[in-house]
Amino acid sequence: MSVKRKNKIDNGIAETEEALFMGNHAVVQGLLEAGVGFTAAYPGTPSTEIQVRLAKLHEKGQLYFEYSVNEKVAFEVSAAAALSGVRSAVIMKHVGVNVASDAMMALAYFGVQGGMVIVAVDDPGCQSSQNEQDSRFWGKFAHIPVFEPSTPQEIRDFIPKIYDLSEKYNMLCMLRMTNFTSLSTGIVKHRPVEEKLSWNGEFVREIKYQIPARYLLHKGLHKSLKELVKDPLFDEFISLKESSSSSERLIITHGAIYPIVEYMAELYNFDGDILKIGAIFPLNEEKIAEIVKKYKYVYFVEELEPYLETEILAIIGRYNLNVTVLGKEKLQIPYENSLRPDALKEAFSRIVADPNDDSVFYEIPDPSPLPKIFDSEELLIPRTLPRLCDGCSHRGAFYSIKKATGEDFIIPSDIGCYALGQVQPVDVGDYWLCMGGGLGTALGMSKVNGKKVIAIIGDGTFFHAGMPALLDAVEYNHNITLAILDNSLTAMTGGQPSPSSTTWKRKDFNPINLEEVVKGLGVKWIKSVQAINVKENVKIVKEALEYQGPSVLIFKGECIVNKLRNMKTPVKPLSIDQELCTRCGNCLIDFACPSIVKEDGRIIIKQDTCTGCGYCAMVCPVNAIK
């Protein structure tokens, strides 16, 4: 089917400006220059800045953007746009792809008409995530092309080309980034785009979307992948940096670690070449074999899993190439965490060593010293545990739950700011699994442990993935209490709206009544309380726990960051009357606000960090805080 594209952006026009771009902002620039008119996302670090910038462009009327209820819905609304001839993008963090994958796997078969790209941002090192899964594997699994840039400039340059390929071959594509590429900055040559990008399309009905014989589409998909790798534009995603002299050695690498590999190669006087692969799937086997056969030794330097090593080893075998391959195991490159120069010292000591000396792989060579700025052992920055903000309303909910439950309750938590409640000294929550996983596992916990379980979830996560589990709780009368901590925001990623937000001013946005949704799912025991009423809420938590069957308690409290952002008058910090204070530690230890500290034997409130929220005054048994 031929579809006339709505937004014609001339990618042949030379770049007219240079600017310092964060990687995430370079994504937005690339989308604009590619003529993408429809975008959707679910908030998730490290991808958040992309979404925030797109939301602002929507406000200006330049394109369409929405914060969908979860990644699957975001994917589906974007897919609909692409099926109607409009270029679209869906943005999410790596674990969000898991949520969207049901729709993604199916859409890959019958393809798109307008180009469509999934922007997936991985999180090596679990900086803000529950795992560090490697999204490169989605390409081979779902049969979708995956591209991986190394710098903000490449991000901007890659995106229009990916859309051209997506549209030419009617294929869903993925742009895979990591926290390093998304949050790093660099000078980017670009072309400003001021025109409004249309998101009006036309869906043309075709029998291929309806028939069950999808295996024919699968066959066509494989054919398209074979055609794709022969496209001259596809070759532009692979680059070879050759040394000044003829070399027997080749490093193969990718993505965010390419600049680090370049740096380490220079530092260790590596006399070989470096192959950077930006087209992760499918691989152009003929071209890679043609390059690799020129070398005697090939070294793979990859972050996370040895994906390229595994795939290219297969190519070497199929083409009967006589090369020595050294990868994760031989070079002792970690499988986990983000790779920085200090993590590659041993690998490069081996890479530059005499390859004929086998002892180098059994005894670690003395690594060359790194500049101290790159040596983690020399970093003197003190490490601190993550914590809830001073004045966070969740702390009030945790205090009430803690006082009502004692030590005998299993308390599954979930993904959001409230996951920090597990950190000492707050210590409320036993584990967190995934979005909605706290409530889902609470159902099983209550059955097999034979007692009431209290699960904690936020309003955004409840709408994202908690409702099915609550419906299951009603259906099978699971003996659980669900505490929904409702601050009406997706706060942990910077304050994006949740479906129940009342502060987001957008004409087509209708806030959802959380209590009505819970009631509509069939829950009989529902109460909504203000989180600041900590003492009264202890009694209400006990009532919820005494109820046999599913009960839901909604703690309402505004996100303190959002509150401070919108305040018109200065904060009035509280203080402790030292004559009334009995040093009981209720505010310091049990409530555990970071602004309350012990100094010279006295408990005081730090005036420079106190937000004046008043929660600590509610927990003081002698009314010494005012």
Dump the DSSP string for 484-513. EEE-SEETTTTSEEPTT-SS---TT-----
Q: Where in the chain is the domain with CATH 3.30.70.20?
A: 568-626
| DSSP E strands, 510-550 | 525-530
| DSSP E strands, 257-358 | 273-277, 279-281, 297-300, 324-326
Stated length of the chain: 626
CATH number of 568-626: 3.30.70.20
Q: Where in the chain is the domain with CATH 3.40.50.970?
A: 17-235, 393-566
Measured CA to CA, the distance from residue 443 to residue 433 in angstroms comes to: 14
pLDDT range class, residue 359, cuts 50, 70, 90: low
Q: Strand order of the sheet with strand 146-147? A: 64-67, 38-41, 88-93, 116-122, 172-178, 146-147, 279-281
- Binding-site residues for [4Fe-4S] cluster, please? 581, 584, 587, 593, 610, 613, 616, 620
Check residue 1 and give its pLDDT: 40
pLDDT range class, residue 12, cuts 50, 70, 90: very low
Average pLDDT of the segment spanning 513-526: 96
| Sign of torsion over alpha carbons 422, 424, 426, 430 | positive
Q: Are 100 and 138 in contact (CB under 8 A)?
A: no
* Helix and strand numbers, DSSP H then E, in the chain: 22, 22
SS3 of residue 380 by DSSP: coil
For strands 279-281 and 297-300, give the pairing.
unpaired
Average pLDDT of the segment spanning 343-364: 74
DSSP state, 47? S
Q: Where are the alpha helices (DSSP H) in 567-614?
A: none
pLDDT range class, residue 2, cuts 50, 70, 90: very low
- pLDDT tens for 379-403 read 555 667 778 888 899 999 999 999 9
Output 150 or 502, whichever has higher pLDDT. Answer: 150
CATH fold of 393-566 = Rossmann fold (3.40.50)
For residue 69, count other CB atoms closer than 10 A to its CB: 17
Backbone Cα Rg of the chain:
27
Q: Are 528 and 503 in contact (CB under 8 A)?
A: no
- Binding-site residues, please? 581, 584, 587, 593, 610, 613, 616, 620
Q: Are 88 and 81 in contact (CB under 8 A)?
A: yes
Please say if the pLDDT value at position 361 is more than 60.
no
Q: Which of 209-218, 415-424, 599-608 has the lowest mean pLDDT?
A: 209-218
Name the residue type at position 564. L
Check residue 500 and give its pLDDT: 82
Measured CA to CA, the distance from residue 234 to residue 252 in angstroms comes to: 18
- pLDDT tens for 123-180 read 998 888 888 999 999 999 999 999 999 999 999 999 999 999 999 999 999 999 999 9
- Residue 95, strand partner residues: none
Of all residues in the chain, what percent carry a pLDDT higher than 90? 65
pTM above 0.85, yes or no: yes
Out of 3.40.50, 1.20.1740, 1.10.260, 2.30.30, the CATH code matching 238-378 is 3.40.50
For strands 324-326 and 297-300, give the pairing.
parallel
Measured CA to CA, the distance from residue 267 to residue 245 in angstroms comes to: 17
Q: Are 114 and 162 in contact (CB under 8 A)?
A: no
- pLDDT tens for 560-595 read 888 888 888 888 999 999 989 999 988 988 888 889
Please say if the pLDDT value at position 194 is more than 50.
yes
Count CA within 13 A, CB hemisphere, residue 203: 9
- Phi, then psi, of 101 in degrees rounded to 5: -65, -30
Q: Are 84 and 107 in contact (CB under 8 A)?
A: no
Tokens of 104: 């993604």
Burial class, 229, CB count within 10 angstroms (exposed 0-12 / middle 13-18 / buried 19+): middle
Nearest to 611 by CA among 535, 545, 558: 558
Please say if the pLDDT value at position 355 is more than 80.
no
| Sign of torsion over alpha carbons 308, 311, 317, 318 | negative
DSSP state, 358? G
Check residue 11 and give its pLDDT: 44
Nearest to 30 by CA among 40, 15, 41, 45: 15
Count CA within 13 A, CB hemisphere, residue 178: 26
Tokens of 571: 């904060």
Q: Does domain 17-235 have CATH number 3.40.50.970?
A: yes
Mean pLDDT score of the chain: 89
pLDDT range class, residue 366, cuts 50, 70, 90: low
Of all residues in the chain, what percent carry a pLDDT higher than 70? 92
- Phi, then psi, of 69 in degrees rounded to 5: -70, -30
Measured CA to CA, the distance from residue 449 to residue 33 in angstroms comes to: 56
Nearest to 586 by CA among 596, 578, 577: 596
Measured CA to CA, the distance from residue 71 to residue 570 in angstroms comes to: 38
Check residue 54 and give its pLDDT: 96
Measured CA to CA, the distance from residue 598 to residue 395 in angstroms comes to: 19
Q: Which of 23-37, 322-336, 561-575 has the lowest mean pLDDT?
A: 561-575
Measured CA to CA, the distance from residue 495 to residue 38 in angstroms comes to: 22
Average pLDDT of the segment spanning 11-24: 75
